[in-house]
Chains A and B, each alone.
Chain A
């Protein structure tokens, strides 16, 4: 299979190559994402786990999501760039951060989630499907 997307962290110690297309693209405004994403939302593309190859050594941390699942997120220990996250409920998927995918990738978020936690000044595209909290899980395969 040919590589559809490549990516890297700010310091280039981590590189990514992805075959296949995302199952979903989402913008998440939960407070935890705002902490990791400098105060804005995280923008994410969800791929089948086996389609995402990472080179370099990642650090990881995890939190208990509101759903009760454990979300583990992986970042570059040298520059802190967030690379991808994975939910304990969906180990077959990897949620890759837009910022780590090389431009021009042509992806854009199609859904905004956890909008009830967005700050009052946030601008959320009204054309996006919106969920105040977690949306239903994406389909298992495409």
Chain B
């Protein structure tokens, strides 16, 4: 569950471990997590640049504030997953108009 913000709008304090990988999308992403408990804090796309930062919803103080508005990579969901039928489902990554949207 991710809430998208422009990268410059998000500020973290405290030590952050960073892990880079090639995502299923083919993009190079950096994932930030707490070195003490491992909680994932964010994912951001290093290459290509300019995409919004994905803040992990579980780390926000009030996860009720923003509900998901789309489901991506629905194709990789386990068979038992219950996906909200009222949300648009994308089998793989978000279409371009969603990938660049920050609200």
A interface with B by C-beta (< 8 Å): 10-11, 34-40, 59, 61, 73, 75-82, 98, 103, 108-109, 119-121, 123-125
Task: From B38, B63, B84, give the contact of A82 (CB < 8 A).
Answer: B38
- Measured CA separation A119–B19 after assembly (Å): 28
Interface of B is mostly: loop
Is B31 engaged at the interface, CB distance under 8 Å to the other chain? Answer: yes
Q: Are B64 and A77 closer than 8 Å at their CB atoms?
A: no
Q: Are B58 and A120 closer than 8 Å at their CB atoms?
A: no
List B contacts of A78 (CB < 8 A): 19
Q: Are A39 and B38 closer than 8 Å at their CB atoms?
A: no
* Count of chain B residues with a beta carbon within 8 Å of a chain A beta carbon: 29
- Measured CA separation A125–B64 after assembly (Å): 19
Q: Are A36 and B19 closer than 8 Å at their CB atoms?
A: no
Q: Which of B5-13, B75-83, B91-99 contacts A (4 or more CB under 8 A)?
A: B75-83
Q: Mark B1-42, 1 if CB is under 8 A from A, else 0.
A: 110000000000000010101000000000101111111100
Closest CB of chain B to A21's CB: distance in Å? 17
Q: Are A80 and B68 closer than 8 Å at their CB atoms?
A: no
Known A-B contacts A11-B21, A35-B58, A38-B57; the reply to A80 vs B64 at CB < 8 A is no
Q: Are B21 and A39 closer than 8 Å at their CB atoms?
A: no
- Measured CA separation A125–B35 after assembly (Å): 33
- Measured CA separation A100–B34 after assembly (Å): 18
Q: Are A125 and B38 closer than 8 Å at their CB atoms?
A: no
Q: Are A35 and B19 closer than 8 Å at their CB atoms?
A: no
